[in-house]
Amino acid sequence: MPEAPEVQTVLTTLEKQIRNARIEKVEIFHEKLPENLGVHEFEKMLENQKILRFFRLGKYLGFETEEYDWIVHLRMEGKFFVFDSYPDPKDKHIHAIFSLSTGQYLCYHDTRKFGRMYLYPKTEDIASLPCFQNVGIDFSKASGTYLFDRTRNSKRDIKSVLLDQSVIAGIGNIYADEILYAARIDPRSIASHLDRDDCETIAAQTKRILNEAIEAKGTTIRSYTSSLGVEGQYQQQLRAHTKEGKECEQCHQPIQKIKLKGRSTYFCPECQVRK
DNA sequence: TTTTTTTCCTGACAGC
DNA sequence: TGCTGTCAGGAAAAAA
């Protein structure tokens, strides 16, 4: 479940390992992996392209090459590995192998096959790419005023709004729980019931928590384990998510786990105010 | 138009 | 041991 901090960690690691490498050969083994192109077309277009730069928008990872913008969404369990020798062909979860000019092999691994890739002719305006059509502003640019304006007519609960990538991009289930816990707002609160101060608090906590998680190289729980040999450490700083039955650090009441719109949600019913 | 539900996937795990 | 059922969950598509 890579959210923005995990994607940023992958980006940083790839930058160190394969920047300026040229892609010599592309092999895609899962036909649904390229979302906007056929497998063969995707393979041929990326071959012989040099990787110039990496970028991130929300949970999307981008590779800028000489002619194309190559965008990857890892979804649930997508991972990249860089190997010095050709990977084990018996590994049924490796869905793409990129042979590099450096002698390395960039491998895409995805147990549940949810991840997707997109390839477009290079553009100056990254946000205008079709795959970002329904993607809002990155969490790093989200202000309290913006969130306030975006929630005035919303009858949805605030947690669903935080998970909605068309509002703020980059927040997933783990950090949404942490943000609302830190902001002391009940995840079931109706979004339009929040006032300006609430929105300012949520925006501030979003930036603080996601930036701290980036510092810690992300969170390693359940399916998001190591990618590129990097183990995130932010799970040690989680206050609410996965803490069912544990004492709330503020009021010492037990953290509760509920289902909200089908998502596991952890919060403190005592000190997170419902609005 | 906005919101909710379903679908895509497979491994882990509980219960029998 | 082996089977069945449930759960995890991001986001697109379908339904309401």
pLDDT, tens digit only, all 275 positions of chain A: 688 998 999 999 999 999 899 999 999 999 899 999 999 999 999 999 999 999 999 999 999 999 999 999 998 889 999 999 999 877 888 999 999 999 999 999 998 899 999 999 999 999 889 999 889 999 999 999 999 999 998 989 999 999 999 999 999 999 999 999 999 999 999 999 999 999 999 999 999 999 999 998 888 765 444 556 677 888 888 999 888 888 999 999 999 988 888 888 999 999 999 99
Q: Are residues A101 and A125 in the same domain?
A: yes
CATH number of the domain residue A57 falls in:
3.20.190.10
Please give the span between the terminal C-alpha atoms of chain A, in angstroms, as a whole number.
29
- What distance in Å separates the CA atoms of residue A174 and residue A213, rounded to the nearest whole number? 11
A151 CA, B5 C1': Å apart: 22
Q: Are residues A22 and A61 in the same domain?
A: yes
A242 CA, C6 C1': Å apart: 19
- What distance in Å separates the CA atoms of residue A13 and residue A226, rounded to the nearest whole number? 12
Domain end marker among A116, A132, A148 = A132
Domain membership of residue A254 as a residue range? 137-267
Tokens of A87: 């990977």
Phi, psi of A18 (to 5 degrees): -130, 15
Tokens of A56: 């991130």
Which bases in strand B are touched by protein, i.e. have an atom under 7 Å from a CB? Answer: 2-6, 8-11
Q: Are residues A243 and A263 in the same domain?
A: yes
pLDDT given at position A218: 85
Q: Are residues A232 and A150 in the same domain?
A: yes
Q: Are residues A37 and A109 in the same domain?
A: yes
pLDDT given at position A73: 93
Domain end marker among A100, A132, A164 = A132
In a domain, A166, yes or no: yes
Note the residue count of chain A: 275
Q: Are residues A151 and A115 in the same domain?
A: no
- What distance in Å separates the CA atoms of residue A2 and residue A220, rounded to the nearest whole number? 9
pLDDT given at position A91: 85
From residue A64, how far is each of A40, A123, A124 by CA, in Å?
Answer: 20, 10, 11
Beta-ladder partners of A61: A56, A72
pLDDT given at position A224: 44
pLDDT given at position A95: 93
Beta-ladder partners of A254: A247
Nearest nucleotide, C1' to the C-alpha of A93?
B10
Q: Are residues A68 and A187 in the same domain?
A: no
In a domain, A187, yes or no: yes
In a domain, A212, yes or no: yes
DSSP A65: E
CATH number of the domain residue A170 falls in:
1.10.8.50
Q: Are residues A141 and A202 in the same domain?
A: yes
Does the C-beta of A92 come within 7 A of strand B?
yes
In a domain, A272, yes or no: no
Secondary structure (3-state) at A168? strand
Tokens of A183: 């902001």
pLDDT given at position A245: 87
Nearest nucleotide, C1' to the C-alpha of A156?
B3
In a domain, A117, yes or no: yes
Beta-ladder partners of A54: A63
A243 CA, C3 C1': Å apart: 32
Beta-ladder partners of A107: A81, A97
Contacts of A42 (CB under 8 A, 6+ apart): A26, A28, A33, A34, A117, A119
